Amino acid sequence: MRLLLLRSSSICVAGLLLTACGVANGNTVISAATVAAKPLPAPISVSDTASTAALNSALIFNQEMLFAVNAARAQARKCGGRSMPAVAELTWNKQLQQAAFVHSTNMARYDFFSHTGLDGKEVSQRIRDQGYNWRSAGENISAGAADVATVMAGWLSSPGHCLNIMSANFTEMAAAVVTNNSTYYGSYWTQVFAAPF
């Protein structure tokens, strides 16, 4: 029997300042998993044929995730101690999807869990690498969840993740999950939120 392990983390980006969501004192906090004694591999490229095929075959997942996020945004809720009003629906963005897919794939391939990629890039750079010119951006990551309902329940019960989901600063989103059963968590989830200039 395999023990289900869940781990989540969230960050928000506004302008050029990178901060962790849910930090009461306003200090910049970025938690990163340490990858010890491993050389830093080059990140994968979404131009790989397998990556493109995986992105194209994810339509049902995309619809399920977008529906779950917009259903959450349609209701006022508390994110930790902060009351959040209902906010407008988000739309799916393929550039954000590619950024999420690249990050989830790299976490699954190299068995790490962090907002910072092994190449040192954060969500702001990953979405810019896909040609997306953002004015606000945020990211939720999780590991070990089996399905959209489970990962969304975890994110909505976590103040920082919930704030990202409920933020009126975002107008678009995408997400990806990549599974590698030979890794510690098995599944690696990335949700990316943004608003373009």
Residue-wise pLDDT for 28-67, tens only, equals 222 223 223 334 344 445 455 566 665 555 688 999 999 9
Provide DSSP, 102-133.
HHHHHHHHHT--BSS-TTS--HHHHHHHTT--
Residue-wise pLDDT for 91-129, tens only, equals 999 999 999 999 999 999 999 999 999 999 999 999 999
Residue 151: both structure tokens together: 């990962």
Average pLDDT over residues 130-147: 96
Q: Distance between CA 44 and CA 71 in Å, rounded?
A: 33
* Contacts by 118-122, CB closer than 8 A, 24 or more apart: 118/35, 118/40, 118/41, 118/43, 119/40, 119/42, 119/43, 121/43, 122/11, 122/13, 122/18, 122/30
Cβ count near 121 (within 10 Å):
19
pLDDT at 49: 59
Helix 148-156 crosses helix 159-166 at what angle (to 10 degrees)? 100
pLDDT at 50: 60
Residues of the chain with pLDDT > 70, as a percent, come to 71
pLDDT at 3: 32
- Judged on CB neighbours under 10 Å (0-12, 13-18, 19+), 109 is middle
Average pLDDT over residues 8-18: 39
